[in-house]
Amino acid sequence: MHAAPTSTKTAFDGIRIAIGVGGSLALVVGVVILVWPGKTAVAVTALVAAYAIVAGVIYAAIGGLSRTKGGWARVGHVLLGLIFIVAGVIAFTSLGQTAVWLGAFLGVLVGILWIVEGIVALSTLSGTGSRVWSIVFAIFSIVAGAVLLFAPLWGAMVLWMLMGISLIVLGVVNIVRAITFGRMQR
């Protein structure tokens, strides 16, 4: 009869630990982003470059070693693998420049997405019960998207800093959740 409370306590402790570790990691990463934004962007770029090389090797191996795929599928996998490897190697040769390029690319991408989102919001005005809020959203979305298109690096840096702030806030909240988790069930 005493096994159920012990297993429940163990489950709660496991969840608390997971939430606490996740919150602590988020807090640390958020602080690091805010303290060293450029260095963390370069570190993330290095992770992306390493991923590209590993993925490239895997794709090339699938193409080279597969006996069940047809010739074009095998050639396609090998070519895709080589493209990934070359992209990863190029990224590693100049991580700082690649980080800037990725920041500009993401800034432009988010800018385009926000403009399209604003246009879509305007195009659905007849089907919504809150026309005023849809118009306000569309205007802000289109303006924010245009700002990102005209200043993608600035926009990417602002988004990077917001991510750092968000990680700090979410990390602190999860640490508090971990400390208080399961108190009512015990």
For tokens 């100049």, name the residue: 94
The reported pTM is 0.70
Query: Is a pLDDT exceeding 70 seen at residue 3?
Result: no
Residue 135 lies in a domain: yes
Burial class of residue 71 in the structure, from the number of CB atoms within 10 Å of its CB (0-12 exposed, 13-18 middle, 19+ buried): exposed
Q: 45 or 68, which is more confident?
A: 45
**What's the structural domain count of the chain?**
1
Among 1-10, 22-31, 141-150, whose mean pLDDT is lowest? 1-10
Q: 15 or 81, which is more confident?
A: 81
How far, in Å, CA of 63 to CA of 70, rounded? Answer: 9
Q: What share of the chain is helix, strand, coil (3-state, %, to 5)?
A: 90, 0, 10
Residue 165 lies in a domain: yes
Residue 77 lies in a domain: yes
Rg of the chain (C-alpha set): 23
**Element housing 131 (H / E):** helix 131-150
Residue 128 lies in a domain: yes
Q: Which residues contact 109 (CB under 8 A, 6 or more apart)?
A: none
pLDDT for 85-130, tens place per residue?
Answer: 999 999 999 999 999 999 999 899 999 999 999 999 999 888 777 8
Percent of the chain whose pLDDT exceeds 70: 93
- What confidence category does residue 13 fall into, taking pLDDT thresholds of 50, 70 and 90? confident
pLDDT for 71-89, tens place per residue?
Answer: 888 899 999 999 999 999 9
DSSP class of residue 186 equals -
Owning domain of residue 75: 26-180
For tokens 């807090």, name the residue: 27
Q: Can you read off the two tokens belonging to residue 123?
A: 């195009």
For tokens 């996740």, name the residue: 22
Residue 15 lies in a domain: no
Residue 21 lies in a domain: no
For tokens 């493209």, name the residue: 83
Residue 97 lies in a domain: yes
- What confidence category does residue 5 fall into, taking pLDDT thresholds of 50, 70 and 90? low
Residue 3 lies in a domain: no
Burial class of residue 167 in the structure, from the number of CB atoms within 10 Å of its CB (0-12 exposed, 13-18 middle, 19+ buried): buried
Query: Is a pLDDT exceeding 60 seen at residue 2?
Result: no
pLDDT for 20-58, tens place per residue?
Answer: 999 999 999 999 999 999 999 999 999 999 999 999 999
